[in-house]
């Protein structure tokens, strides 16, 4: 935003703004907001591009092996599906742990990583979920990390319903504060807990706390460890 102001305002005005702490604080706040509004009109694969997934992959690889080991140790799944699997680092770690793992992803830059890793990933949109290649398959565990806030509000409930059709146990997290590049629906955990409840899934507070404690202790990337939520189908 500061760059754009330099184009629009005279040099003396820019100089005064630079000297004002209040103006600089306001620009620091408004800059990211303005950028997100700009990105709303940008094609999906230009928002979530090579630079985005290079950062995600580089900062998530070490966390993925820890997360996979925790999930396997706590839930003992034979099969799992990661919805919005990104570059596939968690999928690869689950496969290494002996799990039959699949993924769903839309972003072309992320799919390129998945192909390089020779992972079983379905290319599909999640806004709303439109996955025809699963043929009613179900899994022991479904995961969906840091995707919910990327879908529009009207697609949040369909996403949750889709996850609940895939497995009787779901591990989920979503950015509550709008820290991601284009957060369309950042909501607190209670919002998602209520949506899962509408599908007959209860919030497993004990298992969620176990994951959070383990991941924080082992320095898993904070966007995974801050609010992991475990949901189980209520009998």
- DSSP one-letter string for 86-121: TTSHHHHHHHHTT-EEEEEE--HHHHHHHHHTT--E
Distance CA 80, CA 65 (A): 15
User: For the domain with range 47-233, which CATH number is right: 1.20.120.1200, 3.40.50.10420, 3.40.50.150, 3.30.2230.10?
Assistant: 3.40.50.150
Largest CA distance in the chain: 69
Cross-strand bridge partners of residue 126: 129
Q: What is the pLDDT of residues 37-86, one digit of tens each?
A: 444 566 777 888 999 999 999 988 899 999 999 999 999 999 999 999 99
For the chain, the domains span: 2-41, 47-233
Closest CA to 119 of 166, 152, 86: 86
pLDDT computed for residue 20 by the predictor: 64
- What is the residue-level pLDDT of the chain in tens, covering all 235 positions? 444 444 444 666 555 655 665 645 544 443 444 444 444 566 777 888 999 999 999 988 899 999 999 999 999 999 999 999 999 999 999 999 999 999 999 999 999 999 999 999 999 999 888 887 787 899 999 999 999 998 989 999 999 999 999 999 999 999 898 677 677 889 999 999 999 999 999 999 999 999 999 999 999 999 999 999 999 999 7
């Amino acid at each position: 935003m500061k760059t754009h102001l330099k184009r629009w305002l005279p040099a003396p005005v820019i100089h005064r703004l630079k000297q004002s702490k209040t103006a600089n604080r306001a620009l620091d706040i408004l800059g990211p907001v303005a950028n997100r509004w700009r990105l709303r009109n940008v094609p999906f694969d230009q928002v979530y591009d090579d630079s985005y997934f290079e950062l995600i992959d580089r900062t998530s690889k070490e966390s993925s092996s820890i997360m996979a080991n925790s999930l396997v140790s706590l839930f003992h799944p034979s099969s799992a599906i990661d919805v919005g699997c990104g570059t596939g680092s968690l999928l690869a770690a689950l496969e290494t742990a002996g799990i039959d793992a699949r993924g769903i992803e839309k972003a072309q830059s992320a799919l390129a990583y998945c192909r390089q890793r020779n992972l079983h990933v379905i290319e599909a949109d999640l806004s709303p979920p439109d996955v025809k290649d699963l043929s009613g398959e179900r899994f022991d565990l479904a995961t969906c990390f840091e995707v919910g806030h990327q879908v529009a509000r009207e697609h949040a409930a369909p996403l949750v319903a889709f996850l609940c059709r895939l497995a009787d146990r779901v591990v989920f997290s979503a950015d509550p504060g709008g820290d991601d590049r284009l957060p369309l629906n950042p909501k607190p955990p209670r919002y998602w807990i209520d949506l899962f409840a509408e599908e007959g899934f209860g919030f497993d507070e004990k298992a969620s706390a176990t994951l959070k404690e383990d991941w924080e202790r082992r320095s898993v990337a904070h966007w995974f460890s801050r609010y992991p939520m475990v949901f189980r189908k209520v009998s």
